[in-house]
Structure 1
Amino acid sequence: MILVVITGHFENPLVPIPSLLQHEHKDWDVMIAIGFNAAISVRVSNELGAGNARLAKFSVGVVSITSVAIGVVAMAVVLATRDIFPYLFTNSVPVAEETTKLGVLLSFTVLLNSLQPVLSGVAIGAGWQSLVAYINIGCYHIVGLPAGILLGFVFDFGVEVML
C-alpha cells in the first residue's frame, strides 16, 4: 500500500495506480512460497535440533528447487497472459497498455519472490530470526523505498521501479 500512495504522486496517477494494482495477482505465487517458508522453517529447526544437519540441507535443496520450479511456471503464465490479463480488470486501454508493459518486469519479480520467502524460512529455522528481520527492514525501508522514489521521480523511470 505504501507503493500505491507513493505512485499517487506521479504527474498522471490515473494510469500507473490501476496498472500497479492489477499486478497484485503476483501474490498468488507468493502465497505458495509463504507456505514453503513455514514448512522449511519448522523442518530445518527440527532437523538441526535433532542433530541432522545433512537432512536439513537436503530439505532446503528440495524446497528451493520446488519453489523455483513453481516460480518458473508462474513466470511463464505471467509472460503468456500479459496482453490478455489486464482486460479482465479494466476497459481502459491506457491502463491495460501500462500493465502489459510492466508484465515482463513482473514476471521476473514473481520468479525472485518464489525463492525469497523460502530462504527467509531457512534462516528463521536456523535461529536467525532477528537477522532476517533486520535484513527485511534494511532492504525494503532503507534501500528499496528510497531507491524506488529516487528512480521513479528524480530519474523519471515512473511506475516500473515501484513494482
Structure 2
Amino acid sequence: MVLILLTGNMGNAEVVIDALSICLNINSWEMMISLGFFAAASVRVANELGRGSSKAAKFSIVNIVLTSFFIGFILFVLCLVLRGHIAYMVTENINVVAAVEDLSNLLAWSILLNSVQLVLSGVAVGAGWQSIVAYVNLACYYLVGVPVGAVLGYVFHFQVKVSNSIPCFPA
C-alpha cells in the first residue's frame, strides 16, 4: 500500500497505478505458493532440529529450497514469455498493458527471488530466529526499499520504471 500511495503522486498516475497494482497482485499470487513452502520449511526444520537430526534438517532445507526455486523459475519464464499479455486478464486498456509489459522483467525477477527468500525465511523461523527474520524484513522494506524507491522515483525521475517511450493511446 505504501508503494501505491507513493505512486499516486507521479506523472500519468492512473496508468502507472493500474500497472503496478496488476504486477503486485500477480506477485502476491506467486507468494501464496511460497508462503505454503515457508510454513512447511519452518515446521519441518523445527521438527528435525527438535529431534536432534541436523542432517535431516539440512536435507529438508535443500529439497524445499530447490522445489520452491523450480516453481519460481517456471513462473519466472512464464512471466517473461507472456509479458504484457498477462495484463489482459484484468484490463483492456492498452496503456496499462504496455506499462505491465515494461514492468514484466522486474516482475519476473521479483517472482523468482521471492520464491527462494520466503522459504529461507521459513528455515530461519524453524531454527528459532523469528525476531531476527522480523527485524531483517522490516529493515529491508522500510529502511532500504521504500526510501530507495522514493529516491529513484522522485529524485531520479525513474517513475515506476514505465519508460517515457510508451505511447499513450486513447483508452
Query: What is the rounded CA distance, in whole Å, between the counterparts of 2:114 and 2:65 in structure 1?
Result: 12
**Structure 2 unaligned runs (5+)?**
163-171
Higher deviation after alignment, 38-47 or 76-85: 76-85
In the TM superposition, residue 160 of structure 1 has moved relative to its aligned partner by: 2.8
Matching residue of 1:29:
30
Query: What is the rounded CA distance, in whole Å, between the counterparts of 2:71 and 2:88 in structure 1?
Result: 25
Q: Deviations over 1:41-69 (max 9, x none)?
A: 01111111111001001100000000000
In the TM superposition, residue 109 of structure 1 has moved relative to its aligned partner by: 0.5
Q: TM-score normalised to the size of structure 2?
A: 0.91
Matching residue of 1:127:
128
Q: Please state if 1:7 is matched with 2:1.
A: no
For residue 21 of structure 1, what is the amino acid of its counterpart?
A: S
For residue 2 of structure 1, what is the amino acid of its counterpart?
A: V
Give the SS at the match of 2:84. Answer: coil
Matching residue of 1:80:
81
Give the SS at the match of 2:13. Answer: coil
For residue 67 of structure 2, what is the amino acid of its counterpart?
A: T
Q: Show the 5 A alignment for 1:2-151.
A: 2-23=2-23, 24-151=25-152
**Structure 1 unaligned runs (5+)?**
none
Give the SS at the match of 1:15. Answer: helix
In the TM superposition, residue 73 of structure 1 has moved relative to its aligned partner by: 0.3
Give the SS at the match of 2:9. Answer: coil
* Runs of 4+ deviating beyond 4 Å: none
Q: Percent identity?
A: 46
Q: Cα RMSD between the aligned structures?
A: 1.2
Give the SS at the match of 2:44. Answer: helix
In the TM superposition, residue 89 of structure 1 has moved relative to its aligned partner by: 1.8
Give aligned pairs, total.
161
Q: Deviations over 1:110-161 (max 9, x none)?
A: 0001011100000000000110010001000011100000011101111139
Query: What is the rounded CA distance, in whole Å, between the counterparts of 1:56 and 1:120 in structure 2?
Result: 15
Query: What is the rounded CA distance, in whole Å, between the counterparts of 1:30 and 1:88 in structure 2?
Result: 19
Q: Deviations over 1:81-126 (max 9, x none)?
A: 1131222322222111111100111101100010111000000000
Query: What is the rounded CA distance, in whole Å, between the counterparts of 1:119 and 1:31 in structure 2?
Result: 15
Query: What is the rounded CA distance, in whole Å, between the counterparts of 1:85 and 1:54 in structure 2?
Result: 42
For residue 18 of structure 1, what is the amino acid of its counterpart?
A: D
Q: TM-score normalised to the size of structure 1?
A: 0.95
